[in-house]
């Protein structure tokens, strides 16, 4: 590992202190560590060049923060195929592999002996208005179309060119298996094993319709059209990248050519994480 990017949550003093310790250890192992702050999409930082401040391409990114920071960094570094190793300084820490107390030995093993990588699917979405693309973004967890002020909207659903219908709800969540434990689950969607190459679509508070959460293959595009709206409608990607929608807009969601690349460290299986984080409870 010649170049290691150490990414900290913007303005997090605890993360900056830990980043200094990590860079010092990397130097002792013969690697070059560089600390950068992860600025948000709203601050104009949306790609790898911005995140890495134009420096050399890293071979590894060590991310200090919670799941939100991991997701933000993953979207920005996806096109560079940089693997991520997360150290949890947040609350849930479902995506992060380590904690602030157990990073030393795993980091040394990764730097000195290499590592395996788990690759998880990501999504890409495009907004078309009057036949012209006006927005695009990647997503690690989910792509959501929803109304504001708890107002119903009518969303048309087309999968692989076949119309499923128009449904009234507060919104629709399209999620990866990684995102199944986030907004999708809160809206009543299923838990999905991360090894599966599928996406889910789940309505948010559906009104007088029988649209159930669905698990779909990723070999065809999923289109969501804003057919009716009595208030503002917004598209969100991972709850971080946002774009205002208008009636008549179509959002096309596909499987991304890029993947979420996680360094295979830590001791917890997927099911152990579900148990540890309270997604499954034995009564």
CATH code, domain carrying 71: 3.40.50.10330
List pLDDT tens digits, range 164-204.
Answer: 999 999 999 999 999 999 999 999 999 999 999 999 999 99
Q: Are residues 147 and 25 in the same domain?
A: no
Q: Are residues 137 and 194 in the same domain?
A: yes
CB 153 within 8 A of CB 192: no
Q: How confident is the model at residue 132 (pLDDT cuts 50, 70, 90)?
A: very high
CA–CA–CA angle 216, 218, 224 (5° rounding): 70
Q: Give CA–CA dist 260/123, Å, rounded.
A: 10
Active-site annotation, residues: 67
The predicted pLDDT at position 227 comes to 96
Q: What percent of the chain has pLDDT over 70?
A: 98
Q: Are residues 20 and 35 in the same domain?
A: yes
Domain assignment present for residue 83? The answer is yes
The strand pairing partners of 139, in sequence order, are: 123
Q: What is the dihedral of CA 50, 54, 56, 62, to 10 degrees?
A: -30
Structurally, how many domains does the chain consist of? 2
Q: Give the 3-state secondary structure of residue 260.
A: strand
For the chain, the average pLDDT equals: 90
Mean pLDDT of the region 251-279? 87
User: Domain holding 203: CATH number?
Assistant: 2.60.200.30
* Model confidence, pTM: 0.91
Q: How confident is the model at residue 267 (pLDDT cuts 50, 70, 90)?
A: low
The predicted pLDDT at position 87 comes to 92
Please report which helix (H) or strand (E) contains residue 186, including its range: helix 183-186
Q: Are residues 239 and 131 in the same domain?
A: yes
Is a pLDDT exceeding 80 seen at residue 42?
no
Q: Give the 3-state secondary structure of residue 6.
A: strand
């Amino acid at each position: 590992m010649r170049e290691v990017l150490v990414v900290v949550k913007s303005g997090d003093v605890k993360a900056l202190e830990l980043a200094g310790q990590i860079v010092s250890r990397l130097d002792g192992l013969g690697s070059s560590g560089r600390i950068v702050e992860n600025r948000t999409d709203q601050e104009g930082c949306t790609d790898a060049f911005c995140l890495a401040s134009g420096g050399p391409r890293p071979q590894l990114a060590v991310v200090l923060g919670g799941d939100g920071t991991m997701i933000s960094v993953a979207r920005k570094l996806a096109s560079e195929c940089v693997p991520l190793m997360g150290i949890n300084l947040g609350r849930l820490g479902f995506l992060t592999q380590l904690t602030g107390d157990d990073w030393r030995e795993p980091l040394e093993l990764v730097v000195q002996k290499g590592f395996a990588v788990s690759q998880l699917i990501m999504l890409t979405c495009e907004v078309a208005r009057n036949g012209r693309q006006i927005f695009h973004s990647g997503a690690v967890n989910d792509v959501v179309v929803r109304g504001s002020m708890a107002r119903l909207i009518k969303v048309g659903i087309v999968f692989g060119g076949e119309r499923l219908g128009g449904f009234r709800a507060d919104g629709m969540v399209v999620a990866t298996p990684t995102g199944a434990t986030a907004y999708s689950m809160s809206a009543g969607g299923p838990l999905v094993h991360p090894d599966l190459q599928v996406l889910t679509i789940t309505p948010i508070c559906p009104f007088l319709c029988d649209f159930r959460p669905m698990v779909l293959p990723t070999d065809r595009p999923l289109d969501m059209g804003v057919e009716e709206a009595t208030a503002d409608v917004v598209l969100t990607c991972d709850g971080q990248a946002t774009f205002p929608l208008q009636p008549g807009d179509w959002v096309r969601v596909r499987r991304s050519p890029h993947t979420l690349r996680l360094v295979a460290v830590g001791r917890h299986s997927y099911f152990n994480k579900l148990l540890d984080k309270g997604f499954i409870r034995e009564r």
